[in-house]
Structure 1
Amino acid sequence: MSDPTASAPQSTIGRARFGGGTAALVLVSLLIGLAISSGLGGLYAWIGETGEAWMRFAIVAVVTLPVSVMLPWALLVDRSSLKGSIERPEDSIESRWYAKAAEGTMHDVLITVGIGAALFSFTQLQVNTGILLIVLGTMVMADFGVRYQLAKRADA
């Protein structure tokens, strides 16, 4: 049996998963993106305090529109219809590096949170929760980046 998507033409925009072509994908992505951006703009116009409401709406709607359009596109595009897409991205070497780094980082997070919880409990130290989470998040991202580079270097 042949795969119907294997012989289909590929483009930089792709085609919709739900059976439509490129035009359907673009139209649906734009409509959903406009709805998301308008909702965010309306929410900010309603809760914002500075300036006029229509200006707040317009600024937020315009600024969030590109991301609001790309999100539904990413969810609705048929990957096999994109030029240069690989067939099974989960089998790539980068995916293995990512998995190795994520596994090691998870172990580090468990150890760090456990030791931190014990230290804060025993010493009765009080810290700003927001600052603590920012520091912890930054440490996790740095740990993941270092582990990813080490996995990449080990396979090179």
Structure 2
Amino acid sequence: MAAPMGVILAVALALLFMVTHDSEPHPVVGGIAIAITMVWVCTGLAWALIVDRDTVRGATKNPEQSVESVWFDRAASGAFSDTLLTTGLGTAAIVFARIDISATVALSAVILIAMASCAVRYVIQQRQG
């Protein structure tokens, strides 16, 4: 049920793209590319919204109480502290050094720091058990 709904939603998004972007030289090619790209995302969204956990064999009854969930919570909590610390120190260093950095670069660095910190902390939690 989720796969057909994902395909229908992806095609609807592609049609919306084709209707609203008529200045493109090849709107049909763009629409097909959007549909192919979005079908996986839309199918995942449909599955998350429609599929009941009780119908999936081997699914954890309460996933929020699993060991992996505890690891992720600890990793995300620590990553948030790391992100605040490095962003604050980085901002102070940039201000005092009078370096001009674009917002895109700065925000990309913040996201990369947060993701890397969370990933490293998760692996550490996993190895510690």
CA deviations on 1:71-128 (whole Å, 9 max, x unpaired) are 1221111111111101111111111111111111011111112212222233331012
Secondary structure of 1:86's partner?
A: coil
Q: Residue 30 of structure 1: CA displacement? A: 2.6
Whether 2:113 is the aligned partner of 1:104: answer no
- Structure 1 regions of 5+ residues with no counterpart? 1-25
TM-score normalized with structure 2 length: 0.82
**Match for 2:46: what amino acid?**
P
**Number of positions where the alignment pairs a residue of Structure 1 with one of Structure 2:** 129
Secondary structure of 1:126's partner?
A: coil
Q: Give, in whole Å, the separation in 2 of the partners of 1:116 and 1:101.
A: 22
Aligned to 1:13: none
TM-score normalized with structure 1 length: 0.70
- Structure 2 regions of 5+ residues with no counterpart? none
Compare the two structures and name the one with the higher helix fraction.
2
Whether 2:59 is the aligned partner of 1:85: answer yes
In 2, are the aligned partners of 1:105 and 1:144 still within 8 Å (CA)? Answer: yes
Aligned to 1:59: 33
**Match for 1:93: what amino acid?**
V
| Overall identity of the aligned pairs, in % | 26
Secondary structure of 1:85's partner?
A: coil
Whether 2:106 is the aligned partner of 1:141: answer no
Aligned to 1:125: 99
Q: Give, in whole Å, the separation in 2 of the partners of 1:59 and 1:145.
A: 31
